[in-house]
Amino acid sequence: MTIYSAIFYLLAAVIVATTALAITRRNMVHAVVYLVVSFFGSALLFYLLGAPFLAALEVIIYAGAIMVLFLFIVMMLRIEESKRQLFPLRQWIPAAVICVGYLAVLAAMISGIEADRPVQIAVALPAAFSVWVFRQGWLVVEVASMLLLVTLVGALVIGRPVKPDETADK
């Protein structure tokens, strides 16, 4: 049990705990904030697993931009807390059944992999990583940027306020 594995398990516990908390909150702001913590944990995990660039990206984009966007929308829409039962049984039971199946599959999948050989420690330096991405994965970069463009345009279009005289066209 090296220090790294201890850190790993700690981080794993944090991630799982906060995610679990996030999905069971009634108050959506609480849920989002818990999730932000979870993503922080993920970022640390990425750093541990030798991807510092990704860790940074995780914090900036995922925890920073996406979750903040969530918060914006939550506050903008002023959604009230639902007073109903949080996990109604009718939806919960099929999900539970699938969980069981899923866990069985997971256990089966994991047990096939060599359980004793720990992964080595390595780091992908950001510079090397970036060079690799632009050299080997240049096509995906282009496609991703096009995707982002499309998303931008789409969000603009969808989010445009509806003028009263335009409802007739829609």
Partner 1 sequence: MTTIALMTDANLAAAAVSCAVPLLAFGLVMVATRRHPRLSAGISIAAVSLSLLGAVFLLASNWHAPAPQVWSAAWLVSDAVQIPLGVLLDPVSLLMMTVVAAICLLVQIYSLGYMAGDPGFSRYYAFMSLFAWAMLSLTLSSSLFQLYVFWELVGLASYLLIGFWFEKFSASQAGKKAFVMTRLGDVAFMLGLFVLLVGAGTLDVTAVNGKAAAQMDPAALTLAALLIFGGIVGKSAQFPLLTWLPDAMEGPTPVSALLHSATMVAAGVFLFARLFPFFSQSPAAMSVFLAIGTVSMLLSSTMAMVSRDIKQVWAYSTVSQLGFMIMGLAAGSYFAGVFHLTTHAGFKALLFLCSGVVIHALGTNDMFEIARKNGRRLKLAMVCMTLAAAALSGIPPLSGFFSKESILVALAGLDNPIWFAAGLLGVFLTAYYAFRLIFIILFPRSELAEPEAEHGIGTAMGSALVILAAATLGLGFAEAPLARFLSGDPAAAHAGPHLPWLPYAGIGLAAGGLLLAWFEFGRPAADQKGFVERVPALEALFANRWYIDAFYARMVSRLVDRGVAWLCAKTDQRVIDAGLDAASRNLIRSSGVLSTLQSGMIQHRLLVLFAVVVMLGLYFIA
Partner 2 sequence: MIVPYSHILALAGIVFLLGMICTVTRRNLILMLLGLEIMLNAAAIALVGASLRWMAMDGQAMALFIVVVAAGEVSLGLALIVCVHRSTGSVDPALENRSAPENPSA
The Cα–Cα gap between 39 and 56 comes to: 11
User: In sequence order, which residues have a C-beta less than 8 Å from that of residue 130 and are 6 or more positions away?
Assistant: 53
Cβ-contact 19, 67 below 8 angstroms:
no
Residue 118 interacting with partner 1 (CB under 8 A): no
> Minimal CA–CA distance to 2: which of 112, 119, 87?
119
Among 83, 108, 139, 159, binds partner 2 (CB under 8 A): 159
Interaction pattern, residues 52-71, with partner 2; x per rule: CB under 8 A: -xx--xx--xx--xx--xx-
Residue 20 interacting with partner 2 (CB under 8 A): yes
- Whose Cβ is closer to partner 2: residue 2's or residue 168's? 2
Binding partner of residue 35 among partner 1, partner 2, none, CB under 5 to 8 Å per kind? partner 2
Residue 82 interacting with partner 2 (CB under 8 A): yes
Number of residues interacting with partner 2: please give it, by CB under 8 A.
86
Distances (CA, A) of 20 to 6, 16, 23, 57, 125: 21, 6, 5, 23, 32
User: In sequence order, which residues have a C-beta less than 8 Å from that of residue 38 and are 6 or more positions away?
Assistant: 14, 15, 18, 19, 22
- Whose Cβ is closer to partner 2: residue 45's or residue 169's? 45
Instruction: Please report how close the Cβ of residue 127 comes to partner 2 at its closest, in angstroms.
Output: 12
Among 2, 82, 85, 91, binds partner 1 (CB under 8 A): 91
Q: Which residues lie near partner 1 (CB under 8 A)?
A: 91, 94-95, 98, 101-102, 104-105, 108-109
